[in-house]
């Protein structure tokens, strides 16, 4: 319902109020989040980005972002050991004196789904994929509340189109878990003006005529800008459907 509004404005809206916005992004890779990071950088946002990669592509992307962003810090370590999701969120908030926008990016590939057959394995997959963003969301929302920031958090889970009924069922369960997490966190932090929304794999029950489906990286970037802007301050607890976004490496 909201995507039609966002789509109409994405091509002409510049969101000048986002200059200087303190933005943390986790899970960035050459395959997911590039357009989103560039969109915030081009609006002179202050960015701290976590990535698992130390590839030449990431070095080039970091240089590109640094050339336009108001400020850029890069954490090129995967979440394990001392580099935990909590520590990343804390570092981001401490480095910027608070946070205005947080985007957590997660992709699910066909390889991730290959050996997932039993209920226990599905639950393990959901925990593995959603736990880091849940952890970052809790820390970031708490810091936003403590600093009286009208902050926004967007949790993004994208997946390649399912190749079987089994994959579709698993992705449906992932989306249900993401929706439950989003609604719970949005309700708990609504009194502190912290807005929490999500993007998940397309629901199999989505009305084909609703138009409420993101189909590309630019779509997700446009949504992120919208929810971070003044125009998005009424949105919280929503899960937007995405289809056909995760292609590379899947």
pTM of the model: 0.90
Residue 66: pLDDT over 50: yes
What is the Cα–Cα distance from 48 to 37, expressed in whole angstroms? 10
pLDDT at 245: 64
Highest mean pLDDT among 4-8, 129-133, 214-218: 129-133
Across the chain, mean pLDDT equals: 88
Maximal CA-CA distance, the chain: 49
Residue 64: pLDDT over 90: yes
If one compares 88 and 2, the residue with the highest pLDDT of the two is 88
**Structure-token pair, residue 96:** 């910027």
pLDDT at 8: 43
CA triple 58-162-182, angle to 5 deg: 70
Query: Of 9-13, 151-155, 164-168, 180-184, which range is least confident?
Result: 9-13
Percent of the chain with pLDDT over 70: 88
Residue-wise pLDDT tens digits, 173-186? 999 999 999 999 99
Residue-wise pLDDT tens digits, 202-242? 866 544 444 457 768 899 999 999 999 999 989 999 999 88
Residue 98: left (phi > 0), alpha (psi -120 to 50), or beta?
left
Average pLDDT over residues 22-38: 95
Residue 249: left (phi > 0), alpha (psi -120 to 50), or beta?
left
Query: SS3 helix, strand, coil % of the chain, rounded to 5?
Result: 45, 20, 35
pLDDT at 205: 53
Please tell me whether residue 134 adopts helix, strand or coil conformation: helix
CB atoms within 10 A of CB 12: 6
Please tell me whether residue 23 adopts helix, strand or coil conformation: strand
Residue 128: pLDDT over 90: yes
- b/e string for 95-128 if b means 16 or more Cβ within 10 A? ebebbbbbbbbbbbebebbeebeeeeebeebbee
**Structure-token pair, residue 65:** 């972002």
Inter-residue contact 201 to 175 (CB < 8 Å): yes
Please tell me whether residue 70 adopts helix, strand or coil conformation: coil
> Which of 233, 123, 221, 134 shows the shortest CA–CA distance to 183?
134
Average pLDDT over residues 101-112: 95
């Amino acid at each position: 319902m909201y995507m039609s509004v966002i789509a109409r404005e994405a091509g002409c809206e510049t969101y000048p109020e986002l200059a200087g916005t303190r933005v943390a992004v986790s899970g960035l890779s050459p395959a997911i989040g590039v357009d989103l990071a560039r969109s915030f950088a081009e609006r002179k946002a202050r960015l701290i980005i976590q990535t698992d990669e130390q590839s030449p592509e990431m070095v080039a992307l970091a240089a590109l972002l640094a050339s336009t962003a108001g400020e850029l810090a890069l954490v090129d370590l995967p979440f394990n050991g001392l580099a935990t999701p909590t520590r990343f969120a804390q570092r981001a908030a401490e480095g910027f004196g608070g946070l205005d926008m947080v985007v957590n990016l997660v992709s699910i590939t066909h390889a991730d789904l290959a050996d997932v057959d039993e209920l226990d394995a599905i639950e393990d997959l959901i925990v593995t994929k959603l736990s880091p963003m849940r952890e970052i969301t809790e820390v970031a929302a708490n810091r936003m509340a403590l600093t009286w920031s009208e902050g926004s958090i967007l949790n993004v889970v994208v997946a390649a189109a399912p190749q079987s009924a089994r994959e579709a069922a698993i992705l449906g369960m992932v989306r249900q878990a993401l929706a439950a997490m989003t609604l719970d966190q949005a309700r708990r932090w609504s009194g502190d003006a912290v807005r929490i929304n999500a993007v998940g794999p397309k629901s199999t029950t989505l009305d084909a005529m609703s138009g409420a489906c993101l189909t590309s990286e630019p779509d997700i970037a446009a949504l992120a800008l919208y929810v971070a802007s003044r125009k998005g301050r009424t949105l919280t607890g929503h899960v937007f459907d995405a289809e056909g976004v995760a292609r590379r490496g899947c």
